[in-house]
Amino acid sequence: MDRQITHENTIIPNGLTNPPKERKDNIITAILLSFAFSFNLFVFAPLDSYFSGKSSFWFSIQTIIPIVLIVFSASLVFCLLVSLLMPKKVKPYLFALMISGLVCLYLQGNFLTRGYPTLDGSPINWKSMITKGTINTIIWVIIIVVPLVIAIFKKNIINTMAKIISIIIIGLEIVTLITVSITAPSYKDDTCYVSNANKFNISKQNNILLILSDSFESRYMTRITKERPDIVKNLNDFTYFNNTSGIGTLTNLSLPTIMTGELLPVGKNASDGTKECLQKTTFFDYMHEKNYRVKIYTESDFMHSVSIGDIDNLKKGCINQNTNAEVRKKVSKLIYKYSFFKYAPHFAKQRFVLDTAQFNSTIQYANKDVYTIDDKAFYNELNQGFHPSDDKNNFTLYHLNGPHPPATLNEKMVTVNWGKNVHEDERRYQQSISQMTILKTMIAKLKETNSYDNTTIIFAADHGNSIFLNPVLMVKPTNEKSEFKISSSPISLASDLVPFIKDTAAGKGKDAALFKIPEDSKRERYAYNFIFNKGLYDETISCITAFAVDGIASDFNSYKIAKDEYADGNPKNKYSLGDTINFNSLSENAYINGVFDNDNRTYGGHALVKVAFKEKIKQDLTAKLKIGSVYGEKQRLIIKANGKTVYDNALKNSNCEITFKIPKQAIQNNQLELNFELPDAMGSTGTAWNAYSAFIFHSISFE
């Protein structure tokens, strides 16, 4: 055999195509790339998704770890086999594609996630994001093409490139996982859960039943009263308060107040805020004094162990006490789908859309005693009737899915595939009629046990849909005998619901204060907008905007910004004259509030800048404020320095810079507080959590 000398002491047979050194290099590259690719998509993605929403998941990390390890191992073996068995000539191009996939997925999942809605079952308007999708596709194409071009013309550096990128991304992800696992809220595996037991046990004496139909907006009930007289005829004795103002824009922001009468505090996340509401309230004590059992059937995530003993069906213990293979499989499948939505390129995301409420529906496979929101199951059990046997009075709250998406139920409580031609709002309306079916059945079953007359029924919602702060409210007092009525009395769910329940428990019935509010009265009532600047479930409530509702609750123009209450910010570095302050909460040299971090857009009627100066300020200062956009035709801007007005003007131009003087007398203890008042702040999408805009502030400096 002919031999070819390649090194002083190495002789390789002629025709051998893969020298030992090159083969070893390919094996190392294949191992690193395969590990990095599999780790990124099948370990980092699901675990990062879990830790980022840890407080809203009912299961512990141990529940998904076995499946994660199995899937990761399978992916690693598959990638390794493909990489090692691929012909030598193809390897550079395979490695190039693996590099591209690794980088694309990492960037997509960690840096290209903004601009997508909450996965709550609502349909996503993909057509409105064509431009976003096109830009996203261009980014992917560029990242895919570049390594391929390198593989064609500089294939000798692909292995080095692959190893460097793999090590960097693996390192970044390991550090990230360690960080988020440490900073994520502790898993509450020893707290409490809402027991499903005795759901339809009622009292032979007095009952108060509160049906909370999630996202049932008042306008759906108004439409029912106009279009469905057959439904209305079953609602004798009820008063429909169509002018009810709500509490907050989402369930976890409204439910604490509905349960306790207390408002979520600023400066805490929703979970800790709920705990504070439950600790602070005297409502449960009052109901117990009136000899009432208190049962609340909602998702366990909305409760806290501090109320064990106050709420009769709140049980101590762990939800996932019976975690099994089926539970692991179901929640792991969901967590992967959840993370794939985040990591998939834009035009592939539609395949991974899910309703995050599906996570809670899996509880039933771990613990049959845990209450889960399932309207069909609730309706089927309701048909078996009530059990009037308690010696005590009874107060029960039933939290139902209502017309919350995905809206798939018709009025016969049958799941329907409405098809793309049926608008989402029409689906919600049809599902709202299913709630009337539940209410009708509840009335019938109460009458069967002769419990109807001694039962007060409250049919309400935690929030609405398009006008979030106009939820439905209908009330049937005890011993009421009348035709169905519609009242336009200005009712506040935030301030009137719990007092009405207490009035009812005190035996006032139709004499409760709720029924004494005149329809034409001008009363002070408030609804609230809770601002989470960086997130929703785990982040701190950075601001509570109070809306004074001075008209009809269904009219967006009735909501006027009354005040903004800000959380205390973290300590900041001292400010040096001439430096620039960027308008977001991450600013290092000033405390900023009132603007969103992602675009510096104002979100309420006020904004705030507080600085502590390094230098001793002995003279008046000149402030320079750069403004990016002005919403509408013009916006009035009032700036006060420690209470003294230093600027007041209506601005029409975007991309401008204004200057104003700050007298040294306004600087106290070498600190300056600027309050920005935005009286013309306007809303364009209804009273949602990001509705009110006035300006985009870029930066400010002082000289």
If pLDDT is split at 50, 70 and 90, which confidence band does 1 have?
A: very low
| Average confidence (pLDDT) over 295-310 | 93
Element holding 172 (H helix, E strand): helix 158-183
State the pLDDT confidence band at 483, using cuts at 50, 70 and 90: very high
Q: Could you tell me what percentage of the chain is helix, strand and coil, using 3-state DSSP and rounding each to the nearest 5?
A: 40, 25, 35
Q: Are 108 and 345 in contact (CB under 8 A)?
A: yes
What per-residue confidence (pLDDT) applies to 453?
Answer: 97
Backbone angles phi, psi at 702, to 5 degrees: -130, 140
Question: Facing residues of 292 across strands?
Answer: 393
At 448, list the tokens.
């069967």
Give strand ranges (E) for 330-468: 387-390, 393-400, 455-460
Distance CA 634, CA 612 (A): 32
pLDDT of residue 39 exceeding 70: yes
**Percent of the chain predicted with pLDDT > 70:** 93
Bridge partners (DSSP) listed for residue 297 = 398
Cα radius of gyration rounded to whole Å, the chain: 30
Does residue 689 have a pLDDT over 60?
no
Question: Residue 664 burial (CB < 10 Å; 0-12/13-18/19+)?
Answer: exposed
Q: How confident is the model at residue 187 (pLDDT cuts 50, 70, 90)?
A: low
Nearest 5°: the CA angle 435, 439, 444 is 145
| Selected residue with higher pLDDT from 687 and 462 | 462
Per-residue CA distances from 237 to 206, 442, 445, 529 (Å): 17, 14, 16, 34
Cis peptide preceding 406, ω within 30 of 0? yes
Query: What is the tens place of the pLDDT at every residue in 224-281?
Result: 999 999 999 999 999 999 999 999 988 999 999 999 999 999 988 888 899 999 999 9
Looking at residue 307, the DSSP 8-state letter turns out to be G
Q: What is the pLDDT of residues 79-102, one digit of tens each?
A: 999 999 989 888 899 999 999 999
595 Cα distance to chain centroid: 19
- Say if residue 15's pLDDT is above 50: no
Whether the pLDDT of residue 364 is over 80: the answer is no
- Per-residue pLDDT for 186 more than 80? no
pLDDT of residue 584: 82
Question: What is the C-alpha to C-alpha distance for residues 501 and 499, in angstroms, rounded to an integer?
Answer: 5
Predicted local confidence at residue 38, as pLDDT: 95
CA distance 411 to 20: 72
Tens digits of residue pLDDT in 412-436: 999 998 887 888 899 999 999 999 9
Strands (DSSP E) contained in 613-666 are 621-630, 635-641, 644-651, 656-662
Q: What is the pLDDT of residue 19?
A: 65
In tens, the pLDDT along 533-560 reads 654 445 788 889 899 999 999 988 888 8
- Looking at residue 441, its pLDDT comes to 98
**Contact (Cβ atoms closer than 8 angstroms) between residue 471 and residue 493:** yes
- C-beta atoms surrounding 608 within 10 Å: 18
Tell me how far apart the alpha carbons of residues 275 and 265 are, in angstroms, rounded to a whole number: 10
- Which amino acid type is present at position 70? I
CB-based contact 438:219 (threshold 8 Å): no
Structure token pair of residue 98: 């693996």
How much is the mean pLDDT over the chain?
A: 89
Is pLDDT at 56 greater than 80 in this prediction? no
What is residue 622's three-state secondary structure? strand
pLDDT at 13: 46
Q: What is the pLDDT of residue 430?
A: 94
Q: How far apart are CA 659 and CA 646, in angstroms?
A: 10
On the question of pLDDT at 585 being above 90, the answer is: no
Q: What pLDDT is stored for residue 10 in this prediction?
A: 44
* Total number of residues shown for the chain: 703
Nearest-CA neighbor of 240 among 226, 254, 257? 226
